[in-house]
Amino acid sequence: MAEKAEQKIESAIEHPEQPPQCVGESCCLSSTCMNLPGMGCKASRGRTQCVGSSAIAMKEGVCQCLEGPCSNEGICVETLPADQRPKDQTFRPAAQGPTPHQQVLTDPPMAGSSHPPSGGGIPVIPIAIGLILANVLIWGSIWFIQKRRTGYTAYSSDDEETPVMQKSNKRRFQGPGVEWLNDYGGLLEDIEYNKVASALESVGTDAAMTILKQLEDQSTGIDNPTDFILRSTRQTNSRAGSGNSKPTKATRRDAPVAEAVSARESTEPVTPLQALNDFMSFLNKGPGKRQNVKLAEVAGALEALGTKRAARILREMREKGLGLDDPVSYIKAAAQRHGFTVGVKAETAEPETAEDVDDVSRLTSRCKWLNQFAGLARPISIDEVIGALYCLGVPQSMSILRGLQERGASVPDPTRYIKQAVQRANTAISAEAEDSSSGVKEEHEADSSLHAPWAEEEEEIFDWPDESEQANWWDDEDLTADFAAAVGDENDEAWLDWSAAAEPAPKKPRTDASEAAAAAGRRAAARLAEKRDGPRRVVGSVTGYTQLVPSRATVKRSYEGLVKQEILEKQEPEEEDAVLSRDQLAGVAAASKATLLPMSPQEKMMQVRNYASKHALYLDEQCIKALSRLPFYRAKDLIEEVLLGGRQRQGVSNPSRYLMAAVKKMSVGLGVEQGIAMEMAVSLGVVLNNDALDELASIPRQESHAIIRELAQNEEHRADPMAYIQAEVLKCREHLDVRQLEEESEM
């Protein structure tokens, strides 16, 4: 039908129909007109009509009087009122045909026809007004539809000033919610709106938009978004039901009551510590299944968020039931969304710092944390106590602050408490120093006693064996004889003075004080030299960098005869002094050479997938395939870059797309084996893609060339070369594995 209509229109344009001629004395031959708005006959001519015009043929017509003849001036006299008719009026004779200078076509007037007066043509003003009104209606409808679709803005549970909704209608979640997530959220599957619409409306606007926001944040790890939304709404409803807080529709009559209750709650003063304690008790003792969450696990994340954000997030978790399945992960994720990297290391009760952070920063951050979360009666004046804590040392200072945290609000003046504790610690240190000085004196006496004459005589009488001979010194016959000659026969009791043994002789006074003083001076000089040459503690300096330098260089092993090989680190023997024989070394080398087959593309993809899933990063197949083309260390670096938040460290919403773009930016060419296989295939007239070349590169070169030759000769295999290559490569690798097992069994 459409083709026929198109043909008729084309024929009408190319060969327009010729309208009939205007014949008779009613035709005003000196006039021209068109059957178009604004181009008709003038109203001053009387009641006329335009005859013989054709818009398609672009021809003009003439005006024809509806009643009576047309005068020489082109006026229809009989159609005018009697008072407007001219007295002296001449009429032209009836024309028998068209004049030679004007070939116009018109319809003859029909007798008794009731044509409406032209009035000078179609009125322009009503038509223009109608067009304007139609235009306004059309564009107004379009604007209304767009406004209805985008009648509310995107809602985020993390932004305080973002409105939840501007309008509520049946498609309240279709605009920037479900539809936006389907188009731009990077979901693995689209959300079925018909299944989730009623569930989202049942939980309320705030909870629904929060669930959608949580889905957007976890889009890469959720296989079925529809089930995720339904499961989240059921959990929210179950929590609301367990807390006896069923969602009800608010009416105008209940609005003043709700406002009064909210105003009363807002006027009640609630400290951050009280809110935190209430939330922890809610998690550990609330209704339903809860986890035993410790404050130490979330303290660092709450500190990074700040007081206002942390209070808002805890309130949302308690009122709306968000993140109660895993509260620790939810709070850490909220801190990461605000730009704080708290998930890299485990949170503890004391904010941990890296090795390169100086002691002043550690003590300052600890004091700030106590001011914010410890519930102290008064805040600590950090400027007054930081110097004393720094001079005391980090371990003892942390012990003092930990004791202050345990006492909490029972300490009326925390600053004074810290000062007194530091003073007591310094007093204890001075007492220990005195004890150590007395111990040094005793050591001096012991050292001086070693230089007594009887000690020297004993050393001359008996020569003690060295350390290498201490193991079996009692078995030495010569040593036993010397001992017997020195002290006498052991069976003879006369050699032992029992009275002297029962009552030891009093200690002899020191006779050589100069030697003891000299020894003490040497030890004091050694301590001063050690203190002077030892590491100095400088505020703001970098420490611990020497621990990152290995004590010795790592020997790199070379693998000959292999190209584009992913080298797997083997476990080194724990005992360094383990020595293998030459035959054992040869056997190990032969076994390692036999086992080092090139990795297949499937093994590389599995390696990349396992590493990504190990870090809770789920990538699509195209991304894993692109990463497997890279060396593993490069793929590993890209995955770690995504885990750190991308190049700008601001988070990655779609890891698969980010990694695909990063792989495309890298100039990754063919490997050596792939290039050789490609040259061989081109010389034989076989076209192979990168996947086929990777498969051929995973087996020895001789077998891969044989597969290419067979593929070039057999037309059946060339119909599906990829399937044939995969099957042959699998057979070849199985054959090599069997051969390897046989060789190992023979060894």
Cβ-based neighbours of 610, under 8 Å, separated by 6 or more: none
Q: Angle CA(694)–CA(696)–CA(700) in degrees, nearest 5?
A: 125
Distance CA 262, CA 256 (A): 10
Range of weakest confidence among 211-220, 427-436, 466-475, 660-669 = 466-475
pLDDT band at 415 (very low <50, low <70, confident <90, very high): very high
pLDDT for residue 305 is more than 70: yes
Are the beta carbons of 209 and 177 closer than 8 angstroms?
yes
11 versus 572: which is more confidently predicted? 11
606 versus 184: which is more confidently predicted? 606
Candidates 383, 448, 373; CA nearest to 418 is 383
pLDDT band at 550 (very low <50, low <70, confident <90, very high): low
Cβ-based neighbours of 730, under 8 Å, separated by 6 or more: none
pLDDT for residue 486 is more than 60: no
The share of the chain scoring above pLDDT 70, in percent, equals 59
Distance CA 176, CA 216 (A): 12
Distance CA 29, CA 95 (A): 10
pTM of this structure: 0.25
pLDDT for residue 22 is more than 70: yes
Q: What is the pLDDT of residue 264?
A: 41
Does the CA dihedral 330-336-337-340 come out positive or negative?
positive
Q: Angle CA(433)–CA(438)–CA(440) in degrees, nearest 5?
A: 90
Cβ-based neighbours of 452, under 8 Å, separated by 6 or more: 508, 511
Provide the phi-psi class of 645: left if phi over 0, else alpha when psi is between -120 and 50, else beta.
Answer: left
pLDDT band at 27 (very low <50, low <70, confident <90, very high): confident
What does DSSP assign to residue 688? -
Range of weakest confidence among 3-12, 25-34, 655-664 = 3-12
Q: What is the pLDDT of residue 2?
A: 61
pLDDT band at 51 (very low <50, low <70, confident <90, very high): confident
Candidates 604, 620, 609, 614; CA nearest to 656 is 620
What is the DSSP track for 84-115? GS-SS--BPPPPSS--TT-----PPPPTT--P
pLDDT for residue 705 is more than 70: yes
Specify the 3-state DSSP secondary structure of 76: strand
Distance CA 720, CA 625 (A): 21
Q: What is the pLDDT of residue 214?
A: 81
What is the DSSP track for 532-553? HHS----TT----GGGGS-SSP
Range of weakest confidence among 632-636, 669-673, 706-710 = 669-673
Q: What is the pLDDT of residue 380?
A: 92
Tokens describing residue 454: 């009887």
Range of weakest confidence among 58-62, 518-522, 589-593, 711-715 = 589-593
Are the beta carbons of 275 and 319 closer than 8 angstroms?
no
14 versus 547: which is more confidently predicted? 14
pLDDT band at 314 (very low <50, low <70, confident <90, very high): confident
Q: Which amino acid is at 134?
A: A
Candidates 48, 47, 57, 49; CA nearest to 19 is 57
Which tens digit of pLDDT belongs to each residue from 85-126? 666 555 555 444 444 334 433 444 444 444 444 444 455 667
Residue 288, judged by CB atoms within 10 A of its CB (0-12, 13-18, 19+), counts as exposed
Distance CA 497, CA 579 (A): 56
170 φ, ψ (degrees, to nearest 5)? -70, -30
Residue 275, judged by CB atoms within 10 A of its CB (0-12, 13-18, 19+), counts as middle
Which tens digit of pLDDT belongs to each residue from 287-303? 554 556 777 777 777 77
Provide mean pLDDT across the span 467-494. Answer: 46
Q: What is the pLDDT of residue 695?
A: 83
Which tens digit of pLDDT belongs to each residue from 225-280? 888 889 888 888 877 665 544 444 444 444 443 444 444 444 444 566 667 777 77
Q: What is the pLDDT of residue 490?
A: 43
Angle between helices 721-746 and 690-697 (to 10 degrees): 10
Does the CA dihedral 32-34-35-41 come out positive or negative?
negative
pLDDT for residue 609 is more than 60: yes
Provide mean pLDDT across the span 192-200. Answer: 85
Q: What is the pLDDT of residue 340?
A: 59
Q: Which amino acid is at 607?
A: Q
Distance CA 651, CA 645 (A): 4
Q: What is the pLDDT of residue 257?
A: 39
Reported as type and span, the H/E element at residue 699 is none
- The full set of domain ranges for the chain reads 17-122, 153-242, 600-665, 672-746
pLDDT for residue 732 is more than 60: yes
Provide mean pLDDT across the span 441-456. Answer: 47
71 φ, ψ (degrees, to nearest 5)? -75, 175
Query: How far are the Cα atoms of 541, 543, 551 from residue 356, in angstroms, in the given order?
Result: 8, 5, 20
Candidates 20, 37, 34; CA nearest to 62 is 34
Q: What is the pLDDT of residue 52?
A: 82
pLDDT for residue 559 is more than 50: no
152 versus 233: which is more confidently predicted? 233
Mean pLDDT over each residue of the chain, to the nearest integer? 69
Which tens digit of pLDDT belongs to each residue from 487-508? 444 444 444 444 444 444 455 5
pLDDT for residue 438 is more than 60: no
The share of the chain scoring above pLDDT 90, in percent, equals 1
pLDDT band at 583 (very low <50, low <70, confident <90, very high): low
What does DSSP assign to residue 25? T
Which tens digit of pLDDT belongs to each residue from 315-370? 888 777 777 777 887 888 777 776 655 443 333 334 443 444 578 888 888 888 88
Q: What is the pLDDT of residue 522?
A: 80
pLDDT for residue 563 is more than 50: no
Are the beta carbons of 638 and 627 closer than 8 angstroms?
yes
Give me the CATH code for the 600-665 domain, please.
1.10.8
